[in-house]
Chain A
């Protein structure tokens, strides 16, 4: 069974940093591109970042470019999202999702909650 489990969320002050993790199981993680998608409370979905299977291709939404860094460790079957200079508008549930080139996202985690507030 394909499974994605996010962790690392929490309450953080504006301007601070936080790192999310997503552990994958049930499939060959190193063969798949991976994404982060977020959902602000009561709002719709927003694609955040993509990383290819071998980390050669990385893309970001304009809203997070320069502040967030996506990475992965294929030996540990883990996807990361390093978030810096956090703003209140980054408050959201952050999902990791499997999907090549940020499309056909066929497996999703349950999300990690990030709240940016003083």
Chain B
């Protein structure tokens, strides 16, 4: 089974900061990776699909990149409404979510 490791588990940042969340796969997942945002008490929401494709309606401050085993979600300028837990999800072999990164405001 492919394991997905997200880091850091918790990230504190200030409004306006550039924020980078990492996701590392235990083997090559060929860019078969999505990113989901889950705000407290809400259902998850698709942000990025197939590594770097922005879902319709998602602000352009969100972007994704990566290849092989290493993937990144970047928020170019953090906004208060971005406080949430972010999950990466691979579907190259089986279907596995990472444990999430909780993003907080400093």
With A104-B50, A108-B45 as given contacts, are A47 and B97 in contact (CB-CB < 8 Å)?
yes
User: Are B44 and A95 touching (Cβ within 8 A)?
Assistant: yes
Whether A9 sits at the interface, judged by CB under 8 Å, is: no
Chain A: CB-nearest residue to B50: A104
Residues of A whose CB lies within 8 Å of any CB of B are 37, 44-47, 50, 59, 61, 95, 97, 101-106, 108-111
Whole-angstrom distance from the CB of A2 to the nearest CB of chain B?
12
Task: Given A47-B95, A103-B49, A104-B50, verify A95-B43 contact (CB < 8 Å).
Answer: yes
User: Is B49 touching A44 in the complex (CB atoms < 8 A)?
Assistant: no
Secondary structure at the A interface, as helix, strand, loop or mixed, is mixed
* B34 & A104 in contact (Cβ 8 Å cutoff): yes
**Does B19 reach chain A (CB closer than 8 Å)?**
no
The contact of B91 among A61, A95, A103, by CB within 8 Å, is: A103
A110 to nearest B CB, angstroms?
Answer: 6
Complex contact B34–A44 (CB within 8 A):
no
For A44, give its contact among B32, B50, B100 (CB under 8 Å): B100
Instruction: Check A102/B91 contact, CB under 8 A, given A45-B36, A47-B96, A47-B97.
Output: yes
Chain A min CB distance to B83 (Å):
17
Q: Which A residues are in CB contact (< 8 Å) with B65?
A: none
Nearest A residue to B45 via CB reads A108
**Distance between Cα atoms of A108 and B46 in the complex (Å):** 9
- Indicate with 1 or 0, residue by residue over B34-65, a CB within 8 angstroms of chain A CB atoms: 10101000011110011000010000000000
| Residues of A with C-beta under 8 A to B46 | 104-106
